[in-house]
Amino acid sequence: MRNRKAINTNNEDITNILPEECISYILSLTSPADVCRSKLVSPVFRSAADSDTIWGKFLPSDYYDIISNASSSSSSKLLTSSMSKTQLYFHLCKNPIIIDNGTMSFGLDKATGKKCYMLGARRLSISWANTPRYWRWKRVPESRFSEVAELKEVWWLDVKGTIETKILSPNTPYVAYLVYKFSSSRYGFEKKPVDLHVELGESDAGRTFRIFLDPSANIPQFSREREDGWMEVKLGEFFNEHGDDGKATCSLREVDNYTPKKGLIIEGIDIRPKDSR
C-alpha cells in the first residue's frame, strides 16, 4: 500500500510538466478536429488549442496567394492583416471568399483544413448560355456569386466545369456537386433523367450516373438541401494524389432533342473533400 501511494503521489498532470508552447506543438501534429476536441481536456489545453502556432500549420501553404486573388482588395487586406491565423482558419471554414474575378469561391473544410472550391456559373461551360432565348443571367440575393444562370428553355442541356488538380489539396478524395434550384415555372426534368459525370485527366474515364433532378413521388430523390438554401446533387468523385493529373472535369447532360427543359437555376459546381459537412 505504501508503494502504491508513492506512485500516485508522483503522478503529475502533463499540463504541469510541459509548457503550453510544447502542448501547442504536439497538437499541431494532429488534425483540426482533434485540436477542437482537446479543448475539453483542461483549461491549459483550451488555451494551447487557440495558438496561432497550430492553426498556422493547418492553413494551406499557399493561402496568402489565394487570398490575394480575392475579388475585393479591401477584403483581402482585412483577412490577412486584421485576423490572427486562428481567426482566419475558422473564417474561411464559414465564409468562403470570392476569387478569380468573381467566378470561383475558396474555403476550408473545418474538420481537415483541406481546400474547398466552388466554380460559379460564369466559370462553367454551358451550351447556349449567352443566347438570351435559351438562358438568362441574373442576380439572386441568396447566391455567393454576382450572377447565376437560369434556363429559359432548351432541348440540348450540356454543362461542364473543370478545375486544375494542382490547386486542390493532395492525397485527398474529392466529391463534386451541382448546386442548383428550380424556378416556380419548370418542366422537362421530371420526364427525362440527366447524366452526371466526373473524370480525372485523360486516363480516368470516370463513371456516369443517371438520375431525375425533379423526380415524381415514386422515384428516389438523390438531391438534398444545403444549409445555404440551395439544392445539391452529387456529380461524382475523384482522388487527387499529387495534383499532377491535369484537370478534373464535371458534367451534367441531357441531350434528348425531343424533351424541352425549363426552370433550372445553376449557381455552380461545389468541389470539396469527401465526407465533409
Cell of 189: 426534368
Better pLDDT: 76 or 103: 103
DSSP E strand stretches across 67-187: 97-99, 104-108, 115-120, 125-126, 135-138, 148-151, 157-164, 172-187
**In terms of DSSP bridges, do strands 157-164 and 247-254 run parallel, antiparallel, or are they unpaired?**
antiparallel
Question: So what's the pLDDT on residue 37?
Answer: 84
Give yes or no for residue 233 having a pLDDT over 80: yes
Question: So what's the pLDDT on residue 176?
Answer: 98
Q: Please name the residues in contact with 91: beta carbons below 8 A apart, sequence gap of 6 or more.
A: 79, 83
The pLDDT tens digits for 92-118 are 999 999 999 999 999 999 999 999 999
Q: Where in the chain is the domain with CATH 2.60.120.260?
A: 115-273
Question: So what's the pLDDT on residue 7?
Answer: 40
CA distances from 224 to 93, 174, 178 (A): 21, 18, 11
Q: State the virtual CA torsion across 75, 81, 87, 93 in degrees, nearest 10.
A: 40
Question: Among candidates 126, 239, 102, which has minimal Cα distance to 172?
Answer: 239
Tell me the average pLDDT of the chain.
88
**pTM for the full model?**
0.87
Give yes or no for residue 75 having a pLDDT over 90: no
Mutual angle of helices 73-81 and 85-94, in 10-degree steps: 130
Give yes or no for residue 71 having a pLDDT over 80: no
Q: How far is Cα of residue 134 from the mean position of the Cα atoms in its chain?
A: 29
Burial-class residue 21 by CB neighbours within 10 Å (0-12, 13-18, 19+): exposed
Residue 31 pLDDT grade (very low, low, confident, very high; cuts 50, 70, 90): confident
Question: So what's the pLDDT on residue 69?
Answer: 85
Residue 77 pLDDT grade (very low, low, confident, very high; cuts 50, 70, 90): low
Question: So what's the pLDDT on residue 185?
Answer: 95
Cell of 259: 424533351
Question: So what's the pLDDT on residue 15?
Answer: 59
Section 261-277 average pLDDT: 93
DSSP E strand stretches across the chain: 97-99, 104-108, 115-120, 125-126, 135-138, 148-151, 157-164, 172-187, 194-200, 207-211, 224-225, 231-240, 247-254, 262-273
Does domain 14-56 sit in CATH 1.20.1280?
yes
Radius of gyration of the chain (CA): 23
The pLDDT tens digits for 177-232 are 999 999 999 999 998 999 999 999 876 667 899 999 999 888 999 999 999 999 99
| C-beta separation of 121 from 103 below 8 A | no
Does domain 115-273 sit in CATH 2.10.109.10?
no
Rounded distance between C-alpha atoms, residue 134 and residue 154, angstroms: 6
Q: Where in the chain is the domain with CATH 1.20.1280?
A: 14-56
Lowest mean pLDDT among 18-27, 114-123, 202-211, 255-264: 18-27
Question: So what's the pLDDT on residue 12?
Answer: 57
